[in-house]
A = this chain, B = another copy of it.
């Protein structure tokens, strides 16, 4: 395939790129998330990533939001693309444990609770309605909205939601070695609560076992009037599946080829089940000349902070794969 497996079929005159930041306490369960140097510090990753993208450096904490093996955070890719396109990204705080260090559009949510033991999002309706308000606001400003996400632990909440909706889903991971059995155990416990309470309504499923990104994204999808791209892998497929269950207009999904190639997940088959259009970006990191980026090809990190959608947006705005790859490499080299 070329740089894009399929070109999204809409114009791109006044794009907005946003990224929804959220925490789920599941990311602090040892082994669930590779998005940070330790389980507890995964809670900081959305904040550090946003700071890196907004300012070009992380100065507020003496840590980097890289994987334990030092693989660069996908936020460096998104940073490079925002610089290339001269687009300042909009960060949306859907519910974080700590206070961000850069301005965010804030819906005043909380970190999602552990769905094994209690409702993950008691305030799901408020988050949904506040997401609607953001979608209405952004409709005024733009004709294309790209929504990324940064939710450590979010593939596990995605798994729970997809299974609760009845899909035979497997989800991806930022670990090269996907911790499938930990995720399956969490999912079983969450699904038991859902089935024993007879929960069927999509937003109720999110309340039981989702993360704060989901209802905010759903509200935005509901109210936004332009074209929509969900930039992410299995987490955004969970949002697409919820859109389908709610009879919303279906968004378009863009992610990286590294998510599609994850043999522990079934992204292509899942997209077909959901009946959502999906395109894959292949930035050919294997030969880009950076060992950390090359590890994306063997299954580490793969995607995050809307990196796939950001590369796609840069391409839609007329930048060549060569320009895109060169700026990613120089950005990662300057940062790591």
Contact = CB atoms under 8 A, between A and B. Distances in A.
A133 B93 contact: no
A88 B142 CA distance: 13
B141 A16 contact: yes
Given A88-B133, A142-B141, A105 B108 contact: no
Contacts of A108: 99-101, 103-104
17 contacts: A16-B141, A87-B140, A88-B133, A88-B140, A90-B137, A100-B106, A101-B108, A102-B133, A103-B105, A103-B106, A103-B133, A103-B134, A104-B105, A104-B106, A105-B106, A106-B106, A140-B141
A136 interface: yes
Interface in A237-292: none
Interface in A120-179: 130, 133-134, 136-137, 140-142
Given A141-B16, A141-B142, A142-B141, A102 B88 contact: no
> Which of A14, A102, A136: most chain B Cβ within 10 A?
A102
A107 interface: yes
Interface string A79-92: 00000000110100
Interface residues of A, number: 25
A100 B104 CA distance: 14
Interface of A: 14, 16, 54, 87-88, 90, 93, 99-108, 130, 133-134, 136-137, 140-142
A136 B88 contact: yes
Given A88-B140, A140-B87, A141-B16, A103 B99 contact: no
Given A16-B141, A137-B90, A130 B102 contact: yes
Contacts of A136: 88
A199 B104 CA distance: 32
Nearest to A109: B103
A130 B106 contact: no
Given A88-B136, A101-B108, 13 more contacts: A14-B141, A90-B137, A100-B106, A100-B108, A102-B130, A103-B106, A103-B107, A103-B108, A104-B105, A104-B106, A105-B105, A106-B106, A141-B142
A25 to B, nearest CB: 20
A102 B105 CA distance: 11
A88 B106 CA distance: 16
Contacts of A93: 106
Contact of A88 (B101, B105, B137): B137
A133 B54 contact: yes
A326 to B, nearest CB: 24
Contacts of A99: 108
A26 B22 CA distance: 34
Nearest to A138: B141
A313 B110 CA distance: 36
Contacts of A102: 130, 133
Contacts of A103: 105-108, 130, 133-134
A225 to B, nearest CB: 12
A142 B100 CA distance: 26
A99 B93 CA distance: 14
A150 B162 CA distance: 43
